[in-house]
Amino acid sequence: MLQVLLSGLTVGTIYGLVAMAFAVVFYVTKVVNFATGQLLMVSILLTAGLVRLGLPDWLGVGIALIASTVLGVIIYFVAVRPVLKFDRFSFAWLVSTLGIAIVIQATFAIIFGPASQPFPRGLHQIPVHLPGATLTVQEILTLVVGALAVLGWELVRRKTLVGKLGMAISTDPEIASTFGANVTAYAVGAFAIGGFLAGLAGILVGPITYGNPYLGDTYGISGFIALMIGGIQRPAAAMGGGLILGVLSIAANSYIGAQASDWFPFVLVLLVLLLAPNGVFASGDSLRKLFRRRSSLTVGGRA
Amino acid sequence: MSNTIDNTLVVEGLSGGYDRFDVIHDIAFRVGRGEAVALLGPNGAGKSTVLRAITGLLKHRRGTVTIDGTNVVGMGPHQISRGLAAMVPEGRRLFVGQSVEDNLRLGGMRLRKDRARTDQLLQSVYDLFPVVERYKAREATALSGGEQQMVAIGRMMMSDPSLMLLDEPSLGLAPLAIADLITALQQLRERKSSILLVEQRVDIALEVCDRIYVLSEGRIVDEGRASDIGTEGRALIDAYLG
Ligand SMILES: Nc1ncnc2c1ncn2[C@@H]1O[C@H](COP(=O)(O)OP(=O)(O)OP(=O)(O)O)[C@@H](O)[C@H]1O
Ligand SMILES: [Mg+2]
């Protein structure tokens, strides 16, 4: 039971980091970067490739993280900015980010081939025995990184002028710009953070998945489902969606059947979309209204 | 007259619009230093479009818009925001989910390194609107319409601009709130701010402003001193505003 929960949270943190990568970009630009999963794949394959060339693990990881961050920014300038400049309200980014996802995937398939690449096992070889469950150091690191990502994001958003200006840009970029906000700089920053978070998720999950060019699809879809569950409006909620998805997927595997996590997330997201179209953590959605109505009823009953 | 040096804003031959269609045509007007000028006009005349052209939000624009001697046509909004112009937008558009004080501080973004000046500006907003200070910790969009309008004016003041632009600040306000608004605008005027006020309410414009321009179908069709406009002129303007 505890093992299922902890394993679920670990997997969920990976989904959550990818979902956050989607959400941070959406928060600032209102664009969904469908190449987010590919950024995770890039960091895994680059680490694998660089380490195979003889670089130390830490250097491979560092270069891979920088690469996914920079690639995020490149995606903004190549696939997003030009189409938004043409028409700020068009949905052309949907096609252009999907297109660049295919290009990245094909490029890495050509370079690395379709076969699995070994990823440095590193911290994943060290088990930590807890009463009732066993995790690896890598998994514990994953949980810590996920918590830090959410805490860091919320701290900057609420407590700093940079974060408050980001919030203003998120809700009204036009008026924010008339008070000096450089909306383009924030968009670049958002794609960089998105690339970094996706890359981070890749480094953390690499020892389990190993490297192959099609990981982007798998984790891109899972991350997007987590985003739908948590709600696209707030990056912290996206992480929440990841945790829910992770725990329920692992639980489905252990209690329903070995392959249940293949279809279970889709059923889950369908339910969420029906009950709370804006995500479980969005304010004013039907789930919350349901609870609120219940509680006000009980209060009324007592009076 | 437009070449006198002491103008905060000089607009000449300004045309512009959306998606290749011009909605304002060859507009010329000016706002003297310390002067309050009203731009009147019916719905859809292009008043907000003129303000968008001045703040840089309108990309498709031709002609010259000179603020403090700088032609801002070709500049983006975040450049123009550096002390040249600030606006109370139509419908207030306060930053959602943020406190009154955060809204004000965001208005003063460009001066963030000058703490003393920011604090001084904040105090002057609070002196002008005590109710804003009382509610400074509340979420801005939870205030009443009149209170929100004061926050929007305060946010504009915080950037300490050469030119203050207000887009129909009276819209949707109760009579009592409008009286407060008029007092506030008069106080801004006494501080020698240069003001361009867009209004549909002629009475407010005449009470607050030195001069008025009337905009109709994207063109300036009339102008005059507020003091010269008698009841007759007023009826004429009212007819324009339809
Ligand atoms: N974003 C936009 N895209 C296309 N056309 C627009 C846009 N905004 C305004 N217009 C058009 O430009 C014209 C002038 O609009 P504008 O908002 O400047 O008028 P206004 O004088 O401010 O009116 P109101 O008193 O109703 O605020 C209108 O015909 C309007 O339909
Ligand atoms: Mg208007």
Residue B181: CB atoms within 10 A of its CB come to 20
Determine, for residues B109 and A172 on separate chains, whether the beta-carbon distance falls below 8 Å.
no
Question: In A, which residues are within 8 Å of B102 by CB distance?
Answer: 164
Q: Quick one: tokens of B190?
A: 């006494």
Architecture of domain B1-84+162-242: 3-Layer(aba) Sandwich (3.40)
* pLDDT for res B1: 46
Q: What is the pLDDT of residues A206-223, one digit of tens each?
A: 999 999 999 999 999 999
> How far is the centre of ligand 1, averaged over its atoms, from the C-alpha of B41 (Å)?
12
Look at the block and give the residue holding tokens 């998805």: A245
**CB-based contact (8 Å) between A162 and chain B?**
no
Separation of alpha carbons B4 and B7, rounded Å: 7
Q: Quick one: tokens of B191?
A: 């501080």
Residue A274: CB atoms within 10 A of its CB come to 9
* pLDDT for res A89: 74
* pLDDT for res A293: 53
- Say which range, A43-47, A122-126, B134-138, B215-219, has the weakest mean pLDDT: A122-126
Residue A271: CB atoms within 10 A of its CB come to 11
Q: What is the pLDDT of residues B62-120, one digit of tens each?
A: 999 999 999 999 999 999 999 999 999 999 999 999 999 999 999 999 999 999 999 99
Residue A137: exposed, middle, or buried by beta-carbon count in 10 A (0-12, 13-18, 19+)? middle
What percentage of chain B reaches a pLDDT higher than 90? 78
Under a CB-based contact definition with an 8 Å cutoff, are residues A239 and A250 in contact? Answer: no
* pLDDT for res A291: 55
Q: What is the pLDDT of residues A179-209, one digit of tens each?
A: 999 999 999 999 999 999 999 999 999 999 9
pLDDT of A295 strictly over 60: no
**CB-based contact (8 Å) between A168 and chain B?**
yes
* pLDDT for res A87: 75
Q: What is the pLDDT of residues A85-121, one digit of tens each?
A: 877 777 889 999 999 999 999 999 999 998 888 888 8
Comparing A148 with A286, which gets the higher pLDDT? A148
Model-wide pTM > 0.80: yes
Return the closest-CA partner of residue B146 out of B163, B171, B127. Answer: B171
Q: Quick one: tokens of B229?
A: 């406009």
> How far is the centre of ligand 1, averaged over its atoms, from the C-alpha of B218 (Å)?
10
**Amino acid found at A55:** L
pLDDT of A285 strictly over 80: no
Look at the block and give the residue holding tokens 């664009």: A31
pLDDT of A299 strictly over 50: no
Query: Best substitution site from B15, B22, B23 to test ligand 1's pocket, by max atoms within 8 Å of Cβ?
Result: B23
Under a CB-based contact definition with an 8 Å cutoff, are residues A117 and A212 in contact? Answer: yes
Query: Best substitution site from B14, B15, B47 to test ligand 1's pocket, by max atoms within 8 Å of Cβ?
Result: B47
Q: Nearest 10 degrees: CA dihedral of A281, A282, A284, A289?
A: -20
Separation of alpha carbons A209 and B99, rounded Å: 45
Question: In B, which residues are within 8 Å of A186 by CB distance?
Answer: none
Residue in B78, B97, B102 closest to A171 by CB: B97
ipTM > 0.95 for the complex: no
Instruction: Count CB pairs under 8 A between chains A and B.
Output: 64
Separation of alpha carbons B70 and A188, rounded Å: 29
Separation of alpha carbons B68 and A289, rounded Å: 53
The CATH code of domain A2-302 reads 1.10.3470
Which ligand is in closest contact with the Cα of B218? 1
Mutate to test the interface with A, among B78, B92, B153 (most CBs of A within 10 A): B78
pLDDT of A300 strictly over 50: no
Look at the block and give the residue holding tokens 């918590």: A147
Under a CB-based contact definition with an 8 Å cutoff, are residues A176 and B78 in contact? Answer: no
Look at the block and give the residue holding tokens 């946010």: B155
**Amino acid found at A205:** V
Question: In A, which residues are within 8 Å of B105 by CB distance?
Answer: 161, 164
* pLDDT for res A303: 32
Q: Which long-range contacts (CB under 8 A, 24 or more apart) does B237-240 make?
A: B237/B40, B237/B202, B237/B212, B238/B202, B240/B40, B240/B41, B240/B42, B240/B214, B240/B216
H-type alpha helices, chain A: 2-29, 36-52, 57-75, 81-86, 92-112, 137-159, 161-171, 173-178, 183-209, 215-230, 235-255, 260-275, 286-302
String of DSSP letters for A168-232: HHHH-HHHHHHTT--HHHHHHHHHHHHHHHHHHHHHHHHHHH-B-TTHHHHHHHHHHHHHHHH-S
The atom of ligand 1 lying closest to the CA of B215 is 21
Ligand 1 contact, B91 CB (< 6 A):
no
Determine, for residues B98 and A177 on separate chains, whether the beta-carbon distance falls below 8 Å.
no
What percentage of chain A reaches a pLDDT higher than 90? 67
Separation of alpha carbons A177 and B228, rounded Å: 39
Residue with CA closest to ligand 1 atom 18: B46
Ligand 1 contact, B41 CB (< 6 A):
yes
Which residues of chain B are modeled with pLDDT < 70? 1-5, 230-242
Q: Which residues contact B95 (CB under 8 A, 6 or more apart)?
A: A164, A167, A168, A171, A172, A175, A176, B102, B103, B106, B140
